[in-house]
Amino acid sequence: MTAVHGFGLGVATKNKAGEILEVFYPKPLHNLSGDLAAVVKDVKGELDAAALNELASAFAGVGADDLAAIAHQLQDSSRPVVASALVEDMAPESVADAYLKLHMLSHRLVHPHGTQLEGLFGLLPNVAWTDQGAVCLNELAERQLDARLRGTVLEVSSVDKFPKMTNYVVPAGVRIAHTARVRLGAYLGEGTTVMHEGFINFNAGTEGPGMVEGRISAGVWVGAGSDLGGGCSTMGTLSGGGNIIISVGKECLIGANAGLGIPLGDRCTIEAGLFITAGTKVTVLDGARKPVETVSARNLAGKSDLLFRRNSTSGAVECLSNRSAIELNESLHANN
């Protein structure tokens, strides 16, 4: 049986040299099989109106009326229309492939680490993101001058390889106080709230519900019911975390300005201001709060019901059972 890992039909932005800067896929698809997979498996590259009309008929023939409607709508586009079919889950080979994978993540079709992203960062061009869309950096000065001559200003919101997620998709049931702080390719589960200083990178995200007031770095996954306090940080594989996948379990609390460099199990708490890395020496306390042993934090990775704190007298980092984990205020995560 024919199977396709991912497929997207979308509108692209190109620079004057004909190179694709970004692609918007209104309805990305994942894990296709049967007749629909057979229709799309060889569809790739730029499509003209005739090809789109043929594709619309093929979609209609297998009962994919929503895709047929999109294909018909795109026939009138003045912008380039491109398709990307990923028959297998392989590293992206083009900007169009890379954007399809980022869309799949933000549309909740795959979880972080659920699709191959090797080499994606190097594929993406650095782009000026403006109120007129993506602009090639080599063409930015000309576009700025043109705007001034017309009595307007070209607003450049960022210069980056990644756009903000909300210009491509807004997942159901989320709140995002500052949309520029969530990149396309982030996965936000229903019930997630991202406050003004919260940040979520690509290939990272939250199961939801949860409150994000700190940084979720690339590759980091945060379980349901967990809160990241203001200014806290999680180490990702792009920022010194090596090959270890950092994750936060369910119903955890990372305090304000704290940090995490090991995977956490469920119902764990890190005291405000305390940064735990794999090599941090931690004194483990027993039920009577007496020292049992001192270990590196990596030895506690993935274990549940732990409270990490710093002894206010000795300065030593301590760990004790945290079975009275803080319960979240459910009203904070009602994002309907």
Task: Report the run of H or E that residue 86 belongs to, with start and end.
Answer: strand 81-86
Active site residue 213: yes
Pairwise CA distance, residues 166 & 232, whole Å:
23
CA atoms within 13 A on the CB side of 306: 25
Q: Quote the tokens at residue 134.
A: 């993506």
Averaged pLDDT, 293-305: 93
| All residues at 6 or more sequence positions from 329 whose CB lies less than 8 Å from its CB, including other chains | none
The residue ranking higher by pLDDT, 288 or 334, is 288
Whole-Å CA distances, 62 to 67, 81, 221: 10, 22, 37
**Residue of 22, 213, 251, 318 marked catalytic:** 213
Query: pLDDT tens-digit profile of 159-207?
Result: 999 999 999 999 999 999 999 999 999 999 999 999 999 999 999 999 9
Averaged pLDDT, 227-233: 96
Query: pLDDT tens-digit profile of 41-93?
Result: 999 999 999 999 999 999 999 999 999 999 999 999 999 999 999 999 999 99
* Residue appearing with tokens 């083009």: 94
Q: Model pTM?
A: 0.91
SS3 call for 100:
helix
Q: Quote the tokens at residue 174.
A: 């989320």
Q: Taking the alpha carbons of 35, 96, 178, 330 in that order, is the dihedral positive or negative?
A: positive
Query: pLDDT tens-digit profile of 241-296?
Result: 456 789 999 999 999 999 999 999 999 999 999 999 999 999 998 777 888 889 99
Q: What domains can be seen in the chain, in order of their start residue?
A: 3-124 (3.30.70.2010), 129-160 (3.30.60.70), 165-333 (2.160.10.10)
CB 319 within 8 A of CB 285: yes
Question: In the prediction, which pLDDT does 29 show?
Answer: 96
Q: What is the DSSP string of 237-255?
A: TTTT-TT---EE-TT-EE-
**What are the phi and psi torsion angles at 159 (to 5°)?**
-125, 110
Question: In the prediction, which pLDDT does 321 show?
Answer: 80
CB 130 within 8 A of CB 99: no
